[in-house]
Structure 1
């Protein structure tokens, strides 16, 4: 016996299915055209030096980070370096891709201000090798210091550092990987020293990394045309610290779409709960800064 179905039931089902498909389509469209995050979050592997790379990438996803900054040549268990084989590089890149996490940067110990010619040559070679590594892993930037074991930046040192960035910047230009000078550290103490190097650099494939959650007017003026990456440190673990709100506001004015990377050096793993809470708080601060007029 065939049961008759009331017309109202048929209509109701049609309306329900239509609404469901419309909702799904709207969600898919919204997702497909969603604006990228204004500033992305990563952490450097100093926050988890005792973990293998697979665990690090899974942690980043769970804790709410968009990427991981891989610190090389620091004895971290992940073992990734410029000596990593091509096969292992492909495996690392796949591990990141499978988790939906990016390699935000490769952080090196390379220093370009060494007064010893032989040391300087080694650092140039190391920079190029790590730029190749970054390209293979899909990282956009490679962190490099001025350093060199000298007490302060001199005009000669600034010229040498700039020339080195010209060389390695042009070397990596075709890959799209950008070497970045860490500013707010060692002999590049602030805006004045950063400007001394930046004004001498000729290659377009060069950027600056600001090593602090705070940025004053002078620093912003010196770096705004070159800023490609940020490090923030222990101060942002304090729930009362809101430095990133003002920094995000400044970055909005120049259309910044790069990373803010958490660098905590305790010599041991930072608890996952701390990393998760910090990520959520920093995202709120970034959103607040980008909403400001």
Structure 2
């Protein structure tokens, strides 16, 4: 498996620093937060997109994902969601990223209604994703935290260019064990997002291996399934300013994930 880290939960870092951190600490790729306040977003010109690509290529680090913020299960008109999705698909294609991340965001809608919103929108952009060679990945999150929740939507879509991100924190807090999540997401799985937290109630981020999440079990399940994709570490300092800085934790995180992989081989 390849290892990545995410810029989702850290204050905006220049691309040069992101790439340097990844290369220096032994990560193969980076999940890029695509937002107007970040260095990478859909408003970049063609030249600016090419400059981002060149920066990554210099160090041999891959752009794993354009992490967009579309909420595909949210109530309301489809068009703004579809416009946002298509813009991020084009950005990912220009950057050479294989994936675009989206959220469910169904809020208080009944599950069946939220599922239909999400499935309709994902199906609408699936041909665009296929044409661009990019896959849209629905993260296990908010209104759809478990693998079973995400799989309901993906089953309705039934398209190879639409899949899932398995966020281990959300599936575990939703009551699923890794041995339950993996079988339902395996046909759709783009990659796995890992982190560690203090407890079920306290999601303060912790260094990998120091919290309560079933990371060893997750890697074991993936290895038994002969899954050979990406593990992406997400450290959400952005919302927890009191925790340690990302750079000092990158090497320990990579070492911990490498140990888990070695122990599960």
Q: Same fold (TM over 0.5)?
A: yes
Q: Describe the shift of the 1:238–1:257 C-alpha distance in structure 2 as closer, same or farther (beyond 3 A).
A: closer
Distance 1:74 1:129 in 2: 13
Q: Describe the shift of the 1:153–1:212 C-alpha distance in structure 2 as closer, same or farther (beyond 3 A).
A: farther
Match of 1:175 in 2: 132
Q: Secondary structure at the match of 1:121?
A: helix
Give runs of aligned pairs for residues 74-223 of structure 1, distance below 5 A.
Answer: 75-76=37-38, 79-117=39-77, 120-148=78-106, 150-183=107-140, 185-212=141-168, 215-223=177-185
The structure with the larger Rg is 1
Q: Secondary structure at the match of 1:46?
A: coil
Distance 2:223 2:64 in 1: 20
Aligned residues: 246
CA contact (8 A) 1:64 1:280 kept: no
Q: Describe the shift of the 1:47–1:144 C-alpha distance in structure 2 as closer, same or farther (beyond 3 A).
A: closer
CA contact (8 A) 1:244 1:286 kept: no
Unaligned runs of 5+ in 1: 1-38
TM-score (norm 1): 0.77
Match of 1:245 in 2: 216
Runs of 4 or more, structure 1, over 4 Å off, are none
Distance 2:235 2:33 in 1: 12
Distance 2:112 2:80 in 1: 22
Distance 1:92 1:261 in 2: 20
Unaligned runs of 5+ in 2: 198-205
Distance 1:262 1:240 in 2: 14
Asked whether 1:277 is paired with 2:252, we answer yes
Q: CA deviation at 1:238?
A: 4.3
Q: Secondary structure at the match of 1:75?
A: coil
Q: CA deviation at 1:64?
A: 1.2
